[in-house]
Amino acid sequence: MNPLRVLVTGGSGFIAGHCILQLLEQGHLVRSTIRSLAREESVRGVLKDAGMVHSDRLSFVAADLLRDDGWAEAVAGMDVVLHVASPVQPGRVANEGEVIVPAREGTLRVLRAARDAGVSRVVLTSAFHAVSWGHPHNDHVFTEADWTILDGPGVDAYGKSKTLAERAAWDFIAAEGGGLELTTMLPVAVMGPVMGKDISGSNHIVQRMLDGAMPVVPNLFIPVVDVRDVASAHVMAMTNPAAAGERLLLSNGEALSLKEIGAIIRAALGDKAKRVPTRILPDFVVRIAARFNAEMRPFVPDLGYAKKTSNDKARRELGWTPREPREAIVAAATSMVGRAR
């Protein structure tokens, strides 16, 4: 593959960081947005510690999802954009607009700039939150054809933000996209090796188990995908003709209970995982607690329900083969313990 000029938005983020590492390893020229260039040195340091090669092929530009400034400069001369940046705030938030507006308006801002600059394709990081929330519990296998029901049970601000942002992106491409191609990626819960001091996404679950903040676990099931596989799917989708105009669900096909995730961590880390919970919080206790604790309410609709997913399309169209969920969980836990030394 000939080297491409690739813009990665939100370069300080978890998925974006792994995308940058893989793009540089493959010899691409990478530009990344961060909200302030004052953070460039620290972001470079994190990437270096994570094994970055060809650092001279990486540059940064300041751009914010809530402002027009900087985006024309960010996309200028780029072949492809990986739009990964988006607020990640699952659960209850005081003001839903603080999550929804940056996600939706920021996505449109990036798409407009990419179109105007003659970028060939945007690969947008959406989420499983735009697919499976608000649906009735049954044996349905979720695919790219499914969309979250915004007024359904258990849909939080983050789920709304990802759904509305992706819907807006497809509407934009249909009405105003010109020749710009769009591919959207729909990863399930993303875990894997942490980068720097920040814990992002579903790695918070592993962190809370390790530090004792989760002494018992609710009866919840989570489909897990490795961040390194999410990044590789983004890179594959940049140039694959079959990916143009498609949604791609990134999963391993199975959901693990929180109890199973804890058992995996304990088996891998031994004494270093002595605070990882072994007991399940009964469903009725969760339901009672949710009456008084808004943080618990989003859990109630999915108690005991393991969502089924299909990754057939990503495998078929991209030639993508994900790791087993255990690898992502162990990598996350091991990197957290190693960092704490």
Torsion-angle region of 196 (φ positive above 0: left; ψ -120 to 50: alpha; else: beta): left
- Dig out the tokens for 143 from the structure: 């695919």
Q: Apex CA 311: angle with CA 305 and CA 316, to 5°? A: 165
183 close to 169: Cβ distance less than 8 angstroms: no
- Dig out the tokens for 18 from the structure: 């792994």
Exposed (0-12), middle (13-18) or buried (19+): which is 94, by Cβ within 10 Å? exposed
What DSSP state is assigned to residue 118? Answer: T
Query: 117-151 burial, b for 16+ CB within 10 Å, e for fewer?
Result: bebbbbbbbbbbbbbbbbbeeeeeebbbebbbbee
Q: Which of 160, 162, 307, 313 is catalytic?
A: 162
- Dig out the tokens for 324 from the structure: 């087993």
144 close to 249: Cβ distance less than 8 angstroms: yes
Confirm whether 259 is a catalytic residue: no
Residue type, 116: D
Active-site residue numbers? 162
